[in-house]
Amino acid sequence: MIELVEFLVKKLVNDEESVKVRQEEDENGVLTIFVSVNPDDMGKVIGKNGKIASAIRTFVKSVSSRSHKKVFVKFGE
């Protein structure tokens, strides 16, 4: 899952080297993926009115439904 998010975000930004993606799983099995990018590229990842970020979250949610896990994606941390 983390590779998918990293691939999507790297295609959106200018500075691919600054993309950092990490994940944490809590005791309930909920997976949280944290994405951080160069501040200059944050607008490209979030998109106008958050549409790109919402699309990434929707895509990850649909893929994660196969594994029956809850997955959250957080940007800018």
Is the confidence at residue 43, as pLDDT, over 70?
yes
Radius of gyration for the chain, computed over Cα atoms and rounded to the nearest angstrom: 12
Kindly report the CATH number assigned to the domain that includes residue 70: 3.30.300.20
Strand order in the sheet with 71-75: 20-25, 31-36, 71-75
The per-residue pLDDT for 77 is: 63
Structural domain count, the chain: 1
Q: Mean pLDDT across the chain, nearest whole number?
A: 92
pTM for the model: 0.88
Is the confidence at residue 5, as pLDDT, over 90?
yes
pLDDT above 70: percentage of residues in the chain? 99
Q: Range of 65's domain?
A: 2-75
